[in-house]
Amino acid sequence: MSMENKKLGFVILSFSIVATILAFGFLGVLGRQTTALQCYPTSECQRVESLLGLSHIAVGLISFIAALGVYLLFFSTSEEAILKRLEDEKNMKIGEDKFGLILKAMDENEQKVLKAIKEQSGITQSTLRYRTDLSKAKVSQILTDFEKKHLVKREAKGKTYSVYLTENF
C-alpha cells in the first residue's frame, strides 16, 4: 500500500507541476493582453480581469494538489502498517491475559518458576533454582509438570538444561 501511495503522490506532483507551468503561461498571456488593451473599463478588459481572478484561484488549487502529492510521496503512513501495529498490540495483550490466567491456576512455587522463565528465555535450571529459591528436585518436578502441559521445553546445555516457554505464549 505504501508503494501505491508513493506512485500516486508522484503522479499528482507531476500533474501539478505541468498544471503550474500552464497556469503561469496563461497568466503571462493575460498580463500581455492587459498591457496591450491598456485596460480601460471595456467589456474586453472586464473579461481579462475576470480570467485573471480565476487564474489566481486555479493557482491556489494547483498548489493544494501539489501539497497533496508531496504528502503522499513523502509523509503518508500506510494503513497496512497501522493495522499491523494494532494487530501486534492486540496479540500481545491477548498473550499477557492468557499468561495471567494460566498463573492464576498455579500454586505459588509454579508461578515463581513460570515468571522467571518468561523474564529470561533460555534460563538454565541451575539459575532458575537460585532465582526462585527452590530446591533442585522441586524445580525439576515443576518443569516436568510444565513439559507435560506443553508450557515449557527444555534443551540440554552442558550438565543442566535451558528452559524456554513454548509457542503457546
Q: Specify the DSSP class assigned to residue 153.
A: E
pLDDT score recorded for residue 91: 83
pLDDT score recorded for residue 157: 85
Which residue segment(s) compose the domain that 94 sits in?
A: 87-165
Report residue 39's pLDDT band, with 50, 70 and 90 as the boundaries. Answer: low
- Asked if residue 72 and residue 8 are part of one domain, the reply reads yes
List the grid coordinates of 112. Answer: 515463581
Percentage of the chain surpassing pLDDT 70?
Answer: 85
List the grid coordinates of 129. Answer: 533454582
**How far apart (Å, rounded) are the C-alpha atoms in residues 112 and 134?**
9
Q: With beta carbons less than 8 A apart as the criterion, state whether 121 and 133 touch.
A: no
Calculate ∠ Cα 62-64-70, nearest 5°.
Answer: 105
- Interval 40-73: pLDDT, tens: 556 666 776 777 777 778 888 888 888 888 777 7
Phi and psi angles of residue 15, each rounded to the nearest 5 degrees, phi first: -60, -45
Q: Is 13 exposed, middle or buried (0-12, 13-18, 19+ CB in 10 A)?
A: buried
- Asked if residue 91 and residue 159 are part of one domain, the reply reads yes
pTM: 0.49
- Interval 110-149: pLDDT, tens: 999 999 999 998 999 989 999 999 999 999 999 999 999 9
Distance from CA of residue 12 to its chain's centroid? 24
Length of the chain equals 169
- Interval 85-111: pLDDT, tens: 888 888 888 878 888 888 888 999 999
- Asked if residue 117 and residue 57 are part of one domain, the reply reads no
- Asked if residue 107 and residue 41 are part of one domain, the reply reads no
Report residue 27's pLDDT band, with 50, 70 and 90 as the boundaries. Answer: confident
Q: With beta carbons less than 8 A apart as the criterion, state whether 117 and 123 touch.
A: yes
